[in-house]
């Protein structure tokens, strides 16, 4: 089927699903907005008529939400978005730190790792599961990442971490799935470190790969009471969850967002029992995080 034919099929399927649901475009707009995927009524109308089609990480995320809102099976609408649209063009990655020193040291760390420019990687989803110890600081964090290659073939992915204090120690990388820890580097200034995950198999354009790993905080490593994810370009989904030990729930916990120009937004975190979480769709560039504290 041609890309044009696939776009027409998407519009037809969306139109039928909306009609069957009995919902108006205004209702769909409001429900998408509440899920963190704001799509204008005009854009929904264009998708329904076939004049335009979803493209970009935030639009594809909205299609996933539309499937749920309209009672469709997972992938029923997303599968009709053409592969060309799915790959699309990527904006140039931008270091999401406003501090000039952090920007410079990030670039130096990438260079020291010998990492290829990440111009052909799309972040589909990043899930961070954080376990807090009895002292109220992070013990370990497990990452589950899904990425898509948009051009050429990619065999590895570099990742950067920034510490609140200077240290010569490395976080322990364990339980790597879908790849191996190929190399790591600690910047001489002592606050930035980087790792490179080599994928089990090279990933070609249009393909996705899922990998996982866990960071363990060794004795003597600076303790953190914040968990954050920095992204250099929009990510379809970013989820951070923090689990606190029994009888050690924080006295306060907030989510925060830092834009690349240094602006910050905060709000009370969503708590369910001993778990706090924050989630964004189409987020980036910038920093999304949770932080917490104790009155004692």
Give tens-digit pLDDT for 5-45.
556 888 999 999 999 999 999 999 999 887 777 888 989 99
pLDDT value, residue 289: 95
Reported confidence tier of residue 85, pLDDT bands at 50, 70, 90 = very low
Structure tokens at 163: 């510490």
Start-to-end CA distance of the chain, whole Å, equals 64
Coil, strand or helix at 43: helix
User: Is the same domain home to 154 and 72?
Assistant: no
* Structural domain includes residue 285: yes
Read off the pLDDT of each residue in 72-96 and give the average, rounded to a whole number.
Answer: 64
Cα(259)–Cα(96) distance, rounded to whole angstroms?
7
The domain containing residue 71 runs over which residues?
A: 3-87
Q: CA angle 121-126-129, nearest 5°?
A: 155
Beta bridge partners of 235: 283
Residue 198 has pLDDT above 50, yes or no: yes
- Residue 112 in any domain: the answer is yes
Residue 251: pLDDT band (50, 70, 90) is very high
Whether 70 and 18 have beta carbons less than 8 Å apart is answered as yes
Residues 17 and 11: their CA atoms lie apart, in Å, by 10
Read off the CATH number of the domain in which 43 is found: 1.10.260
**pLDDT tens-digit profile of 120-179?**
888 888 999 999 999 999 999 999 999 888 878 899 999 988 888 888 888 999 999 999
In angstroms, rounded to a whole number, what is the distance separating the alpha carbons of residues 72 and 78?
11
Q: Give the model's confidence band at 75: pLDDT under 50 very low, under 70 low, under 90 confident, else very high.
A: confident
Domain annotation covers residue 93: no
Average pLDDT score over the chain: 86
The answer to whether 123 touches 143, Cβ cutoff 8 Å, is no
Q: Point out the domain boundary residue: 36, 55, 87.
A: 87
Say which CATH number the domain at 148 has. 2.60.40
282 & 210 share domain:
yes
Strand partners, 291: 226, 254
Report pLDDT for 58: 65
Whether residue 240 is predicted with pLDDT greater than 90 in this model: the reply is yes
* Number of Cβ atoms within 10 Å of the Cβ of 165: 10
**25, 123: one domain:** no
Domain count along the chain: 2
Pairwise CA distance, residues 204 & 149, whole Å? 6
Cβ within 8 Å of residue 245, ≥6 positions away: 132, 133, 134, 274
- What pTM value is reported for the model? 0.72
User: pLDDT value at position 74?
Assistant: 78
Q: Do both 271 and 248 map to the same domain? A: yes
Crossing angle for the helix pair 41-49 and 25-34, to the nearest 10 degrees: 120
- Nearest Cα neighbor of 195 from 209, 211, 207, 206 is 211
């Amino acid at each position: 089927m041609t890309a044009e034919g696939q776009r027409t099929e998407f519009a037809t399927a969306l139109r039928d699903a909306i009609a069957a649901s009995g919902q108006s475009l205004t209702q769909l707009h409001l429900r998408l907005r509440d899920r963190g995927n704001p799509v204008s009524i005009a854009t929904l109308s264009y998708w329904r008529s076939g004049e335009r089609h979803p493209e970009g990480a935030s639009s594809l995320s909205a299609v996933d939400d539309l499937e749920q809102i309209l009672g469709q099976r997972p992938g029923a609408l997303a599968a009709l978005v053409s592969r060309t649209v799915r790959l699309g063009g990527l904006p140039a990655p931008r270091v999401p730190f406003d501090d000039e020193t952090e920007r410079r040291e990030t670039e130096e760390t990438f260079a020291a790792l010998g990492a290829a420019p990440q111009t052909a990687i799309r972040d589909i989803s990043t899930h961070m599961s954080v376990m807090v110890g009895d002292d109220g600081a992070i013990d370990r964090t497990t990452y589950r990442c899904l990425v898509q290659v948009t051009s050429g073939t990619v065999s590895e992915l570099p990742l950067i971490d920034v510490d609140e204090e200077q240290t010569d120690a490395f976080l322990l990388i364990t339980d790597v799935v879908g790849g191996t820890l190929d190399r790591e580097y600690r910047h001489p200034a002592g606050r930035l470190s980087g790792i490179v995950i080599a994928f089990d198999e090279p990933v070609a354009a249009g393909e996705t790969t899922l990998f996982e790993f866990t960071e363990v905080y060794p004795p003597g490593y600076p303790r953190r009471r914040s968990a954050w994810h920095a992204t250099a370009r929009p990510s379809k989904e970013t989820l951070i969850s923090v689990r606190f030990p029994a009888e050690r729930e924080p006295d306060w916990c907030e989510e925060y967002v830092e834009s690349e120009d240094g602006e910050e937004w905060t709000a009370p975190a969503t708590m369910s029992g001993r778990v706090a979480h924050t989630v964004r769709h189409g987020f980036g560039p910038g920093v999304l995080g949770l932080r917490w504290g104790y009155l004692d």
